[in-house]
Amino acid sequence: MAEAATKEKKEKPPEPVLAERLRLEVERAVQRSLKGVELFAAPPPTVGRTAKTVLHRRGTLSLYHYHATADEIYRVPLLFVMAPTNKAYILDLAPGQSLMEFLLARGYDVYMMDWDAPSDAERDLKIDDYVLDFIPDCLRRVQQDSGEHDVTLIGYCAGGMLSAIHVALLPDGPAKNLVCFTTPVDFSKMELFRSMADAKVFDVDKLVESVGIVPADLVRAGFDSLRPASRIAGQLRLWDNLWNDEFVKGFRMMERWGNETLPLPGGYFRQTVKELLRGNALFQGTLKIGGRKVELGNIKVPFLHVIAQYDHIVPPECAHPLVERVGSRDKEEVVLPGGHVSIAAGANAVKRMWPKLDSWLQGRST
């Protein structure tokens, strides 16, 4: 019996899969050790490399114009409005991973409203200032620079909310089309943020009066607390994939973006907490900006809302009401697989969101 088993053992070669797997893991372990050392000394990854000109800077605001790369461009320029909490280079991470580069190659004239850390003098900036000052100012400059009256406004997250409020208040303005990515409307569905902002546990006035500008660490901690274990898990995944240069490059760019979360003007933060999170005023139709009630039904321009199916920051149920509320006849909502960031940047965005955005804009940009 034992002899037969030995014979069978001799006839059967060692399992190649296991040997191959072990060899691979040893190789990766060596690579991890070597590249782990390199990682400590590596400078921050370069981001935002698409050629652009600074058209205007004013305090926290920067307006960029990306250099056209197509021989012939669409008539209507695009003006992106980034969320005031984050840098806009998430849409221009690296060649081949840049929505800006993609749109330029597809023949669009692209402008971007980006934000820097607000100065002490800007501590009292409110949503009103973003909607009724910064956005109209940039629209005017885009009109002047491009020589076109019509402009397509494209807002990401809170940038989408600011853009939608702007168009709702100034429906006869130059915005020809409105595109929003992952834009919150019904804040009652942002349950964790609401718990954090609850008046019983959080005195927003006391915080704003003491700091003036809400520190970036606090803003970042707010986002991190939605998925508290993910930062540590991310570091473990980085270690696991240290052998993979592409993974490390992508991880470091995203990590840099997350770490460069911006501080917020106290006035903006207070308004967001009190009126949007606690009062749900945009959804209820009671939000007043510049003394005027914001009625999303006033938005009549062609409208596209791109929602991320697995968004943990702006859950789909928080974003859905926007398309229902806007008064446009030409309106569309698309829910694409992805998270809050991966919907706009990353491999899935390249395959899904970018072509969708391009196909929607094409016929509306002439």
Partner 1 sequence: MATSLIPDPFQMWREALTKLEGNANSIVTGSMDSQELMRSMHQLSALSLNMQQAFEKAIGGYLARVNLPSRKEVSELAAALQRVEDKLDRLLPDGAGPAAPRPPRTRRPPPEGAAPPAVEAGTPTPAKPARRTKSAASRGRRRS
State which of positions 64-93 bind partner 1 (CB under 8 A): 68, 70-75
For the segment 126-155, give every residue that binds partner 1 (CB under 8 A).
146, 148
Residue 54 sits in the site that holds partner 1 (CB under 8 A): yes
Q: Show Cβ contacts of residue 192 under 8 Å, excluding neighbours closer than 6 positions.
A: 225, 226
CB 167 within 8 A of CB 178: yes
- Closest to partner 1 by CB, 71 vs 172, is 71
Residue 240 sits in the site that holds partner 1 (CB under 8 A): yes
Select from 38-46, 221-229, 260-268, 292-300 the region that touches partner 1 (CB under 8 A).
221-229
CB 156 within 8 A of CB 91: yes
Residue 336 sits in the site that holds partner 1 (CB under 8 A): yes
- Closest to partner 1 by CB, 295 vs 358, is 358
- Residue 38, amino acid: E
For the segment 292-331, give every residue that binds partner 1 (CB under 8 A).
307-312, 315-317, 320
The Cα 284–Cα 282 span in angstroms is 6
For the segment 14-33, give every residue that binds partner 1 (CB under 8 A).
15-18, 20-21, 25
Tokens of 337: 């697989």
Chain centroid to Cα 254, Å, comes to: 11
Residue 5 sits in the site that holds partner 1 (CB under 8 A): no
The Cα 129–Cα 237 span in angstroms is 41
Q: What is the DSSP string of 331-360?
A: EEEEEESS-TTTTTSSHHHHHTHHHHHHHH
Q: Which of 124, 171, 192, 300 binds partner 1 (CB under 8 A)?
A: 192
Residue in 78, 75, 74 with CA at minimum distance from that of residue 65: 78
Select from 51-59, 83-91, 126-134, 289-297 the region that touches partner 1 (CB under 8 A).
51-59
Q: With CB under 8 A, what is the number of residues at the site for partner 1?
A: 90
Q: Which of 13, 14, 43, 228 binds partner 1 (CB under 8 A)?
A: 228
The Cα 55–Cα 57 span in angstroms is 7
Min dist CB 316 to partner 1, Å, is 4
Residue 352 sits in the site that holds partner 1 (CB under 8 A): yes
- Closest to partner 1 by CB, 33 vs 225, is 225
